[in-house]
Chains A and B, each alone.
Chain A
């Protein structure tokens, strides 16, 4: 076990884990979307888990740093928050959010992140970009809500690398990227319904449950009540 100082609090963690894991294990919430423990190298693509570490001259993603004994970490400085807010606003610019109607309340890491960062769920001052996606897509036995998806890639990773099913993939590219599968609608394919993907999804965009009722499927078009 080694000790590190986070926001003035000393925590004891096992060696070899990342700063992000160390904080989460000790009840210190750092927003994060793309981190998966089993990835050989962290993606560090969500740009939310920034921290400041003594000795480093600028904030770094905490998923890329291994803990060291005596490390001094700050999770709530102004430079950190500024980076997190920018990244969050960019994410929300393509993510239509209606927290009052959204059935992912409680599961959704975006809502939790907005609360921590004390920002609204609207992308303002950034423009909102609408993605051309279907409200509900069947991916084999899975039900996917593309407009909730932030393309963090956790599901693709656990399905391919961890469970070895290889059911999920990213299709297309750039702004048109979506999580997809080769399996046709309703077909089982290689999916063993292990729900690994459902478990890691930070925004509740994947489920094995039946599609929700029509009114909750297209929140953005029904009413613009985000924030």
Chain B
């Protein structure tokens, strides 16, 4: 996606947030419900979104930031096309889940909770996903991968790269077809 497209996307999001704010009472007790509603609709809380909420409730934007960062529930980056969740529940923690998370972070050059600049990948840590026998576990695009190992991470990205190349080839092929047809 180009920067301009992203800007207008943000603009649209902010306008939609502005439109929904009057649904809520102007009371600081409404802060968390508002943040939840924004996240539900837009998947994350952008800086400007938090500023809008602060203005609406007439509280300091720093207060909004303090509350929002307190809860694991809130995200501050848009989700990537591929969402990677690394389990750090007790069993996965014991089995080295933190090493798996670190591997993802290093491979993508982002920290937990962030999204790569090209919005391809986002990494987050989750508590137990419920299959401790497979520890350490990662959930990639809703697919559970058990017995995670650094080598599996390499394989995963190789697969994604391949997939992307195929998509590109297909797009190029379609374009060529369209040109040939005209």
Residues on A lying within 8 angstroms of B by beta carbon are 160, 165-173, 180-183, 190
CB distance from B55 to the nearest CB of A (A): 12
A172-B69, A173-B70 are known contacts. Are A166 and B64 too (CB-CB below 8 A)? no
Q: Are B60 and A171 neighbours in the complex by a CB distance under 8 Å?
A: no
**Residue from A172, A173, A181 in contact with B62 in the complex, judged by beta carbons closer than 8 Å:** A181
Asked whether A180 lies within 8 Å of B60 as measured between CB atoms, the reply is: no
Q: Give 1 or 0 for each of B42-66: 1 = CB within 8 Å of chain A CB.
A: 0000010011001000011111111
B70 touches A167 (CB 8 A): no
* Chain B interface residues toward A at CB < 8 A: 47, 50-51, 54, 59-66, 69-70
The answer to whether A182 touches B64, judged by C-beta atoms less than 8 angstroms apart, is yes
Judged by DSSP, the binding face of B is helix
Measured CB to CB, the closest approach of chain B to A155, in angstroms, equals 12
Q: Are B50 and A182 in contact, CB atoms less than 8 angstroms apart? A: yes
Known pairs A173-B70, A180-B66, A181-B62. 14 more at Cβ < 8 A?
Answer: A160-B63, A166-B62, A168-B62, A169-B60, A169-B62, A169-B65, A170-B70, A171-B69, A173-B69, A180-B65, A182-B61, A182-B62, A182-B65, A190-B60
Max count, chain A CB within 10 A of own CB: residue among B62, B64, B65, B70: B62
Give bound CA distance, A171 to B66, whole Å. Answer: 4
A169–B65 alpha-carbon span in the complex (Å):
8
What's the minimum C-beta distance from B111 to chain A, rounded to whole angstroms?
A: 9
Q: A182-B50, A182-B51 are in contact. Are A171 and B65 (CB under 8 A)?
A: yes
Q: Inter-chain contact count A-B, CB under 8 Å?
A: 43
CA distance in complex: A167, B66 (Å): 11
Q: Chain A residues with Cβ under 8 A from B64's Cβ?
A: 182
Measured in the bound complex, the distance between the Cα atoms of B54 and A137 in whole Å is 23
CA separation between A180 and B69, bound complex, in Å? 10
With most chain A CB atoms within 10 A of its CB, the pick from B47, B60, B64 is B60
On chain B, the residues within 8 Å of A165 by CB distance are 60
Cα(A149)–Cα(B61), bound, Å: 22
Partner of B60, one of A172, A173, A182: A182
A73 to B51, CA, bound (A): 49
Would you give the shortest CB distance from B93 to chain A, in whole angstroms? 15
* Docked CA distance A169–B31 (Å): 16
8 A-B interface contacts by CB (under 8 A): A165-B60, A167-B60, A169-B62, A172-B69, A172-B70, A182-B51, A182-B54, A190-B60
In the complex, A171 Cα to B60 Cα: how many Å? 14
- What's the least CB distance linking B163 to chain A, in Å? 34
Interchain nearest-CB distance for A12 vs B (Å): 42
